[in-house]
Amino acid sequence: GNVTVMGIEFTNTTLEGFMESTVRPCLDGSEKCFIVTANPEIVIATRDHPDFKETVQSADHVLPDGIGIINAAKMMGTPLQERVSGIDTMRAMLAYAEEQGYSAYFLGAKEEANRKAVERAERRFPKLKIAGRHHGYADLDDEAFVESIAATEPDIIFVALGMMKQEHWIRNHMDRFDKGVFMGVGGSFDVLSG
Ligand code: UDP
């Protein structure tokens, strides 16, 4: 079951449970999946931006990324199992991708942070396939640009354009892809590269 916090429906799961119930089957079945990891800042932004709320509601899963969400759910008497952060989910996906031979595309952040994030991922997961990478300061909605990413046929697409921008990009462009687990990862490339 889902748990609604401030108008957003969260998937009530654990990281391990989510990998097993959703991420692995999606990758193994070459399906498409849009995952939002939402902290309180994101939930608040959905109140101020109806189009962003629609985008978040269009996701297949919204994960509780922040103790504020966990606490709010508990106070309402509908507790969530645990905080599932974007960075932990990203690491778990990378580990599974390496194990199974799936590829990941890294879109977003500044050129140096993007490159370093990929380098770190390759060092930590040596057999990981990198489908490709691009910094986040291109003409992101350009058809040819989107096509150049889709053409790499990534199994996982990490999008680090900052909240709202990254979720809108995924919502607007995931129909160009035949498969893929899509997730906005905010400043995670900077964490991974730092
Ligand atoms: N970013 C990007 N393109 C943009 C805007 C932001 O690639 O047009 C990247 C930025 O370099 C950073 C990440 O998105 O790595 C998060 O940006 P920010 O801290 O502004 O977003 P937030 O903290 O709101 O998620």
Helix and strand numbers (H, E) in the chain are 10, 8
Distance 42 CA to ligand 1 centre (A): 14
Q: What is the pLDDT of residues 149-192, one digit of tens each?
A: 999 999 999 999 999 999 999 999 999 999 999 999 988 887 77
Q: Is the CB of 109 under 6 A from ligand 1?
A: yes
**Domains plus CATH for the chain?**
2-193 (3.40.50)
Q: What is the ipTM of this complex?
A: 0.93
Q: Is the CB of 186 under 6 A from ligand 1?
A: yes
Compute the mean pLDDT over every residue in the chain, rounded to the nearest whole number.
96
Q: Which residue has the tokens 């969400």?
A: 69
Burial of 133 (0-12, 13-18, 19+ CB in 10 A): buried
* 60-6-84 Cα angle (round to 5): 50
Find the mean pLDDT for residues 17-29: 98
How many whole angstroms separate alpha carbon 75 and alpha carbon 69?
Answer: 10
* 144-185-108 Cα angle (round to 5): 35
